[in-house]
Amino acid sequence: MTDTPIDYAQLGQELIEQRKWHEAASAFEQAVATAPHMVELWNNLGAVREEIEDFAGARDGFARAVALEPASAAPYLNLGSVLMRLDAPQDAVPHLRTAASLAPDFAFAWRELGRALELAGRPAHAAPALRRAVELEPEDGDGHLRLGCVLLESAGAKDAIPALQRADELLQDDTRAKLALGHALLEDSQPAAALAPLEACIALDPNNPIGLHDLGKARAEIGDIEPALAHLRAAIASGDPNVVEPSTQTLAVLAPGSLDETAESVLEARRNWAAGLPTAPRREPPTIPTDALRIGYVSSFFQHANWMKPVWSLVHAHDRDRVEVHLFGDNAADELDADYRPHRTDRFHDLRGLDNEAAAELVRAADLDLLIDLNGYSRPDRLGILSHRPAPRIAEWFNMYATSGLECVDFLIGDDAVLSPDEEEHYVETVVRVPGSYLTFRVEHPTPDVTTSPCASGEPFTFGCLASQYKLCDAVLEAWCRILAGAPESRLLLRNRADEASIRARFAPFCERHGIDVRRIEIRPGTDHFAFLGTYGEIDLALDPFPYNGGTTTTEALWQGVPVMCYRGDRWASRTSASILLAAGLDEFVAADREEYVSRAIAIATESARRDELAGLRSGMRERLENSPVCDTDGFARNMESLFEQMCCKA
């Protein structure tokens, strides 16, 4: 009969080879009972218990081994590993740290330490351990992948990308590495670079929901909007809870910028996203206001002078006998844009650190008559404030280029140029209109002086656009290449924060199709705002993108003396520039359709009389604007105040 520890240990080993784990555990239990001082027996017992998922028993076995042999790395490593299986990574850390210090050249010990620190919610501490692991085993693709993911969480995408690139090289057809690399490049504002790994991920796994979501975002950011929406819809159709909500939100944001989308599909996309927001009953005011209306403006962008021109123009022009102004911002009071001139009766409310429900409570406490959202889908996550109905009446203005899709929004403020009455059936809000442009503005921050038109100085006629790359869809690039082909002595100047290589890659097939020398297209990198505005000094005529027009870029181009060629499209988003230009008396730059947009641009560039008119217009542009309705901010304020009174049933 077996009765020595060696016999029990040998039996245990034989049973392990036969994969009879429970019997092996019994054998080692008898072995340690007869020889409790033998470290190897406790280690073996712990390992067998771990195999049968008796993790508590395994922990006890490894703990005895540690106590018996505190100078050996293996028991610490085993104990730390099983503690992680017991969901106790914080308890595992000191044991694994000891293992790594006792065996500093053992990559597995560093890798396990890094994993424990990561699971314990300490990714910044995990990174050095994981980095040491890949230094010891530089061909370990999984190690590079884990390091990259930890760096992505703790240090940011830029630091993570080299590790993830190495992981992708080593792991070849591993979708995890491609997905992580693509996501990191996307987070680092490199959407064009993100395409290759994300497309490779989808080629390997066509229904990967996170890959579809990220590929949709990457394509949207480079202006490849129609395929982007198809990827997002596929991600939503997957039903994966990790992507349904963010993909639904992104689809709602992007839909108005796609020529393939209709008013009906935009409404559907936005309603689908809005359906996931919390709802609250409508608040009815107890009486019709008799004193000055308490108006609240909510925005996450009060600190951005270039965006806020129409907002501050209205706020400054308000009649404080009719309106009491409350500002609700995701910024500190001292971070308010320097263009804002506070009135003694104005009130600022800091929303930083508040979730939507708490922010709504702060708005509710102000006892407003009307809340006006200025965020629109530039901050869709903040539209949840509105869904809590913190004011008896809620309106959208300034930054909403289609229906919000939110039943809690009562009014949408526009003008006759951006929306016709027969289109209102695709809006959940009651659309109200001001005379002239709903984006009336004044410029109160420093800007460069207006310069002479480049073509008047003997330079080639220069078209230009300073809009973001995501607005430069295929139809825009096609139209611009047609313009360049029709005006063969002209050039095109672009400036935004996208990298030059990605923009050139987007242009390449269109240039080839129309026989355009790519050297006629100059691409400048992003820069500070004052220098950015100075770029207009090198542009004769700005070309508006479509269907997602410029707003801020249109007002900035005009202020720098550069007319903007646009056309009235089939939706609000593609009529924003027309609203501004018509109110400025610049009707000749508002084409009826895309064909006329192209032909008018060519005519201006190729006909000497038209170029001469352009040069004269440029020198007097600011005076023209200031004397036009588009800069009549006092008149605009009176019109808006009358609308507010009607909304609040005061008029």
209 located within any domain:
no
In a shared domain, residues 475 and 425:
no
Tokens matching residue 183: 């996501």
DSSP 8-state class, residue 419: -
What's the whole-number average pLDDT of the chain? 95
> What ranges in 470-588 are assigned the alpha helix state H?
474-486, 500-514, 529-534, 552-559, 576-583
Assess whether pLDDT exceeds 60 at residue 2. no
C-alpha distance from residue 248 to each of 211, 380, 495, 577, 615 (Å): 15, 11, 30, 28, 47
In a shared domain, residues 388 and 465:
no
Bridge-partner residues for 329, per DSSP? 299, 350
In a shared domain, residues 502 and 419:
no
277 located within any domain:
no
Q: Given pLDDT bands bounded at 50, 70 and 90, which one contains residue 651?
A: low
Q: Which carries the bigger pLDDT value, residue 616 or residue 352?
A: 352
Q: Which residue has the tokens 């190690």?
A: 143
Average pLDDT on 137-149 reads 98
Q: Which of 125, 152, 187 is the last residue of a domain?
A: 187
In a shared domain, residues 477 and 420:
no
CATH number at residue 427: 3.40.50.11380
558 located within any domain:
yes
User: pLDDT tens across 406-417, in order?
Assistant: 999 999 999 999
Q: What is the pLDDT of residue 9?
A: 77
Assess whether pLDDT exceeds 70 at residue 19. yes
Strands 370-373 and 347-350: unpaired
In a shared domain, residues 424 and 468:
no
* Residue-wise burial string across 301-338, b where 16 or more C-beta atoms lie within 10 A, e elsewhere: bbbbbbbbbbbbbbbbbbeeebbbbbbbbbbeeeebbe
Q: Which of 157, 172, 187 is the last residue of a domain?
A: 187
Q: Which residue has the tokens 């969480």?
A: 153
Assess whether pLDDT exceeds 50 at residue 535. yes
560 located within any domain:
yes
Q: How far is 564 from 549, CA to CA, in rounded Å?
A: 11
C-alpha distance from residue 39 to each of 42, 51, 61, 82, 210 (Å): 5, 19, 9, 17, 47
Q: Which of 162, 187, 212 is the last residue of a domain?
A: 187
Q: How far is 321 from 317, CA to CA, in rounded Å?
A: 12
In a shared domain, residues 489 and 600:
yes
Q: How far is 163 from 170, CA to CA, in rounded Å?
A: 11
Q: What is the pLDDT of residue 12?
A: 79
The domain total for the chain is 3
CATH number at residue 475: 3.40.50.2000
Average pLDDT on 422-439 reads 97
Q: What is the pLDDT of residue 1?
A: 46
Read off φ and ψ for residue 485, nearest 5 degrees. Answer: -65, -35
User: pLDDT tens across 554-588, in order?
Assistant: 999 999 999 999 999 999 999 999 999 999 999 99
Tokens matching residue 193: 């670079």
User: What's the distance, CA 307 to chain centroid?
Assistant: 17
Q: Are 52 and 21 in contact (CB under 8 A)?
A: yes
Comparing CA positions, the residue from 241, 238, 234 lying closest to residue 251 is 234
Q: Are 194 and 218 in contact (CB under 8 A)?
A: yes
In a shared domain, residues 520 and 486:
yes
C-alpha distance from residue 212 to each of 157, 179, 245, 247, 613 (Å): 20, 10, 13, 9, 50
Q: How far is 121 from 89, CA to CA, in rounded Å?
A: 9
249 located within any domain:
no
222 located within any domain:
no
In a shared domain, residues 413 and 496:
no
DSSP symbols for 159-181: HHHHHHHHHHHHHSS-HHHHHHH
User: pLDDT tens across 276-313, in order?
Assistant: 999 888 767 667 787 899 999 999 999 998 899 999 99
62 located within any domain:
yes
Q: Are 310 and 556 in contact (CB under 8 A)?
A: no
In a shared domain, residues 403 and 476:
no
Q: What is the pLDDT of residue 433?
A: 98
In a shared domain, residues 470 and 422:
no
Comparing CA positions, the residue from 397, 378, 396, 401 lying closest to residue 386 is 396
Average pLDDT on 404-429 reads 97
Q: Which residue has the tokens 């002078």?
A: 305
- Parent domain of 333: 293-433
346 located within any domain:
yes
In a shared domain, residues 429 and 300:
yes
Rounded to two decimals, the pTM is 0.90
